[in-house]
Amino acid sequence: MTVMEQRGAYRPTPPPAWQARTEPAPLLPDAEPYRVLGTKAAERVDPALLRTLYARLVHGRRYNTQATALTKQGRLAVYPSSTGQEACEVAAALALEERDWLFPSYRDTLAVVTRGVDPVEALTLLRGDWHTGYDPRAHRVAPLSTPLATQLPHAVGLAHAARLKGDDVVALAMVGDGGTSEGDFHEALNFAAVWRAPVVFLVQNNGFAISVPLAKQTAAPSLAHKAVGYGMPGRLVDGNDAAAVHEVLTDAVRHAREGGGPTLVEAVTYRVEAHTNADDATRYRGDDEVAAWRRHDPVDLLERELTGRGLLDEEGVRAAREDAETMAAGLRARMNEDPELDPMDLFAHVYAEPTPQLREQRELLRAELAAEAEAEAETETESEAETEATTDAATHAGTATGSVSGAPEGGPR
């Protein structure tokens, strides 16, 4: 008698017919990036929306150039420019309702500004002045995330919590192609799909993770194809086509709000400037490549569409540029003012209840600052005493000299 023949032994039964958990076909992205400008689809777009997008793009381009200049002038510690990616930045902010949340990365200050945050406050982190310069709750904009992709799980958590509470809120999380190589990206998409969280992931595929090209990061047909593995729709869009990005993101936000779950959107764009002011992009890419992408500039694409259809004239172009210059002048003037900083703010807004380690560090810093202030006061007192003594000596010497010089001409020699 074999083991399987004994009474009570486990007897396997034929498995049920295998079925896919999710039908993959509807999740697959298009074979080519979706475009609107220069196609028949552009005629369906509200002209007022196109003009708004254009004004925001012009504003955004000037913001980028001004922030880069401030870095060269020493007014910013670092600035990761989004020049060439303005269509993604602007469309992401405009696709959201006021009640929704934006989760930006360090390169997305333009999206933060477009969302309504003061430009100086948006640049505070990059200036090195504070953890973040704006109130996230007031603007519904999470702090700029410097670590790659760590903001994505936060976006999923907020969106899932909002749904559990019955709040009509969608989270839009922005990340670069380099961030898709991080574990946080996988975890965020997996949780979002399983929970059907109302969140939209916007991947700005600008071609490089600092100096690493996309081909050395993934062998997938596109980053949008990664969505299928998690069970969510993937969308592929021309990231320099502001109208197309806005349409795709608006659809994804609506889909999430209606309970359809998350969407992964890959916007194919290009980082025209270097990674940051500390990077030399000529070491890993050629001028011809950059020039080719400049011919597909998001501002020029939309301007050609509008002027070609008679929706924008020279006066409209001039007005947009003048408004952008006014913004840049104000930003430049305010950034040239030296802020008054309190070192104790280092420990503010880190935890709701400071940890023992933070309290200890806070008291150490407080003691160091007090000791420095006391030393400076003593030095100042000593300096004042020395100055007073020097003045008295000089006065006495002057009096003595005057007495000698005033002696009779025939006096002692």
Give percent of the chain above pLDDT 70: 92
Give residue 225's Cα distance to chain centre: 24
- What CATH number does domain 25-277+285-341 carry, 3.30.70.580, 3.40.50.970, 3.40.50.1370, 3.10.105.10? 3.40.50.970
CB 151 within 8 A of CB 145: yes
> How do beta strands 234-238 and 212-213 pair?
unpaired
Domain boundaries, the chain: 25-277+285-341, 342-379
pLDDT tier for residue 403 given thresholds of 50, 70 and 90: low
Residue 388, pLDDT above cutoff 90 = no
**204 strand-pairing partners:** 176, 267
Q: Write out the E strands in 156-296.
A: 171-176, 199-205, 208-209, 212-213, 234-238, 263-268
Q: Give the lowest-confidence range in 22-36, 331-345, 392-406.
A: 392-406
**172 strand-pairing partners:** 102, 200
pLDDT tier for residue 40 given thresholds of 50, 70 and 90: very high
- Residue-wise pLDDT for 60-75, tens only, equals 999 999 999 999 999 9
Active site residues: 271, 275, 284
Average pLDDT over residues 170-181: 97
Q: Give the lowest-confidence range in 11-15, 38-42, 55-59, 356-360.
A: 11-15
